[in-house]
Amino acid sequence: MPVSQAASSNTPLTREAMEAFWLPMTPNRQFKSKPRLFVGAEGMHYVAQDGQRILDGMAGLWCVNAGHGQRRIVDAIQTQAAKLDFVSSFQMSHPAAFELAGRIAQIAPSGLDHVFFTNSGSESVDTALKIARGYHRARGEASRIRFISRAKAYHGMGWGGLSVSGIVRHRRDFGPLLPEVDHLSHTHNPEQMAFSRGQPSWGAHLADELEKLLAIHDPSTVAAVIVEPVTGSGGVFPPPVGYLERLREICDRNGILLIFDEVITGFGRVGAAFAANAFGVTPDLITCAKGMTNAAVPMGGVIVSGKVYDALMAGPENTIELFHGYTYSAHPLACAAALAALDVYQDLALFEQARRIAPLWEAAAHALKDAPHIIDIRNIGLLAAIDLRPRDGAPGARGAECASRCYDDGFLIRASGDTLLLSPPLIIEEEQIAALFAAIRRALAAVG
Ligand SMILES: Cc1ncc(COP(=O)(O)O)c(C=O)c1O
């Protein structure tokens, strides 16, 4: 059967038909011998090729915050595609791009009032790092080129994001990265905070490591500190109480920009538009993507303070202020999807809904404490992570088997090594939360 026919039908793909697609971040050979293919999605559920309905415990990949197939978003994309399929934003643009930037600035913390559009979280991070260096140079501090990030951080797959990444397996195989980078310790210390609910009370002092790094490098060489306010892919580590405040204070005292990477936490994940709103700490730049369009069209952005934007709006008015941008920055389809997604978030009050249901989510997650193999459980907003004791001699096997059993049982969760990660659409209901954690309990009881 030709590949095109196979792809459009519900007939399982042959190995040959799967050969050409090199899947990202996937063990390709294993996947192709036991593929997991979806052909539909609606609300909280995926529909697998074999017809099984799978409850989406990951909002796709931390991104479908309003649930799948939101009619308003679908309609907006279809209408836009028929009306204006594409216009570049290099020296031209379209009205929806301006409207969207304004709407995002409205829900961002006050003072963050300009948006640079990208197409992904990775592009947002690389863009933010470039803006940070550009900002200092524009102000006559070209020596500020260094970035400080954190162990266990995930900042995407671009060279900049990889350079500030704190996950060794992501960095290891690719040769020299940006040399001017240093890392803070991560904030997870199970001895002090295992099974803490929400923000751990221990650990604010870890932000003081920034002072030590500044003493080594000299503040005049540092452009920005970049952190995920809640470490996401690295294992869901909510910030210790007071930690982000302290980072903010040290950055302010030393003329350093603070970047929050909110690619996961943006658009409601922790019960507010951004984690910055939820924690009451305002960075100079926010990177975002994922939930921006409810993942229906790729889009990302960097939300920038007036201070940063104004510093770069210098020089003759006929010169480009920042030599940076992407063909698809502010793509009309993405803007239409994002505007509709913001309408859905607002009309269904989904950020408030996430905040309302978070205590129930927390209770359900922590009720697993007595299940087999569990060594830690963490949660914040509608995020949770469950650490399993690794099986002797086979690290990661228990996590993978547990996620696989959940899938066979009709529940999509994610395993990163022996950590189970959960991030459902914000529309998840009480019974679905109960069913999801019951499935995890069954899987834990079944894996050796
Ligand atoms: C915090 C963070 N930054 C950046 C990225 C990269 O985003 P993308 O995969 O859209 O490039 C991710 C992706 O999960 C992320 O979690």
Nearest CA to ligand 1 atom 7: 121
For β-strands 146-150 and 181-184, DSSP reports them as parallel
Query: In angstroms, what is the span from residue 239 Cα to ligand 1's centroid?
Result: 18
CB of 149 within 6 A of ligand 1: the answer is: no
Q: Which of 312, 347, 382 is the last residue of a domain?
A: 347
Using CA atoms, how far apart are residues 362 and 64, in angstroms rounded to an integer?
20
Nearest atom (ligand 1) to Cα of 300 = 10
Residue 278 lies in a domain: yes
Beta carbon of 419 within 6 Å of any ligand 1 atom: no
Same domain, 180 and 293: yes
Distance 42 CA to ligand 1 centre (A): 24
- Assess whether 59 and 84 both reside in one domain: no
354 and 280 share a domain?
A: no
CA angle centred on 232, ends 202 and 221, rounded to 5°: 75
Q: At what angle do helices 350-366 and 332-347 cross, to 10 degrees?
A: 70
Residue 13 Cβ contacting ligand 1 at under 6 Å: no
Q: In terms of domains, do 395 and 295 share one? A: no
Element (H, E) at 222: strand 222-227
End-to-end CA distance of the chain: 41
Q: Which domain holds residue 391?
A: 36-66+349-446
Do residues 130 and 206 share a domain? yes
What percent of the chain is predicted at pLDDT more than 90? Answer: 97
Pairing of strands 411-412, 53-56: parallel
Q: What is the atom index within ligand 1 of the atom nearest the CA of 161?
A: 4
Overall domain count for the chain: 2
Q: Report pLDDT for 3.
A: 42
What pLDDT sits at residue 405? Answer: 98
Residue ending a domain, among 283, 315, 347, is: 347
Give 364-411 pLDDT, tens digit per residue: 999 999 999 999 999 999 999 999 999 999 999 999 999 999 999 999
DSSP-derived pairing of the beta strands 257-261 and 285-288: parallel
Is 145 within a domain?
yes
340 within some domain: yes
- At 6 the pLDDT is 47
Rounded Cα–Cα distance for residues 308 and 114 (Å):
9
C-alpha of residue 82 to centroid of ligand 1, in Å? 30
Is the pTM for the entire model greater than 0.95? yes
Mutate-to-test residue for ligand 1 from 227, 287, 290, highest number of ligand atoms within 8 A of CB:
290
Using a 6 Å cutoff on CB, does residue 234 contact ligand 1? no
Binned at pLDDT 50, 70 and 90, residue 294 comes out as: very high
Centre of ligand 1 to C-alpha 428, Å, is 23
Ligand 1 close to Cβ of residue 262 (< 6 A)? no
Asked whether the beta carbons of 344 and 70 are under 8 A apart, the reply is: yes
Q: Which two tokens stand for residue 28?
A: 């390709």
Query: Are 182 and 221 spatial neighbours (Cβ–Cβ below 8 Å)?
Result: no
Nearest CA to ligand 1 atom 3: 155
Percent helix, strand and coil across the chain, each to the nearest 5: 40, 15, 40
For residues 315-329, give the mean pLDDT: 96
DSSP collapsed to 3 states, 371-411: CCCEEEEEEECCEEEEEECCECCECCHHHHHHHHHHHHCCE
CATH code assigned at 407 = 3.90.1150.10
Quick check: CB of 166 below 6 Å from ligand 1?
no
Q: What is the pLDDT of residues 250-291, one digit of tens each?
A: 999 999 999 999 999 999 999 999 999 999 999 999 999 999
CA distance 107 to 343: 12
**Phi, psi dihedral angles at 359 (to 5 degrees):** -65, -35
**170, 95: one domain:** yes
Regarding the beta carbon of 440 and ligand 1, being less than 6 Å apart is answered no
What is the token pair recorded at 163? Answer: 């350079």
Q: What is the pLDDT of residue 1?
A: 39
Ligand 1 lined by 127 (C-beta under 6 Å): no
What percent of the chain stands above pLDDT 70? 98
Ligand 1, pocket-test mutation among 117, 119, 125, most atoms within 8 A of CB: 125
Domain match, 177 and 291 both: yes
Atom of ligand 1 nearest to the CA of 61: 14
Q: Quick check: CB of 403 below 6 Å from ligand 1? A: no
Quick one: pLDDT at residue 10? Answer: 78
Position 11 scores a pLDDT of: 85
Q: Is the CB of 155 under 6 A from ligand 1?
A: yes
Distance CA 180, CA 182 (A): 7
398 near 388, Cβ under 8 Å?
A: yes
Contacts of 19 (CB under 8 A, 6+ apart): 32
- Which atom of ligand 1 is least distant from the CA of 156? 6
Buried b (16+ CB within 10 A) or exposed e, 95-120: ebbeebbebbbebbbeebbbbbbbbb
Residue 18 falls inside a structural domain: no
The mean pLDDT value for 80-104 works out to 98
Q: Based on the domain organization, do 386 and 278 belong to the same domain? A: no
Question: 109 and 244 in one domain?
Answer: yes
pLDDT in tens, 15-29: 999 999 999 999 999
């006929």: which residue's tokens? Answer: 318
Q: Is the CB of 232 under 6 A from ligand 1?
A: yes
- How large is the average pLDDT for residues 65-73? 98
Q: Is the CB of 162 under 6 A from ligand 1?
A: no
CA of 333 to the centre of ligand 1 (A): 21
pLDDT score at 63: 98
Same domain, 365 and 332: no
Q: pLDDT band for 9, please (50, 70, 90 cuts).
A: low
Domain-embedded: residue 23: no
- 77 in Cβ contact with 96 (< 8 Å): no
120 lines ligand 1 (CB under 6 A): yes
Q: Name residue 205's amino acid.
A: H
**Which of the four pLDDT bands, split at 50, 70 and 90, describes residue 448?**
confident
175 CB-near residues (< 8 Å, 6+ apart)? none
State the virtual CA torsion across 72, 74, 76, 81 in degrees, nearest 10: -170
The verdict on 290 and 185 lying in the same domain is yes
Give per-residue pLDDT as tens, 184-225. Answer: 999 999 999 999 999 999 999 999 999 999 999 999 999 999
The closest residue, in CA terms, to atom 8 on ligand 1 is: 121
**Hey, what are 246's tokens?**
């302290």
Q: Are 93 and 208 in the same domain? A: yes
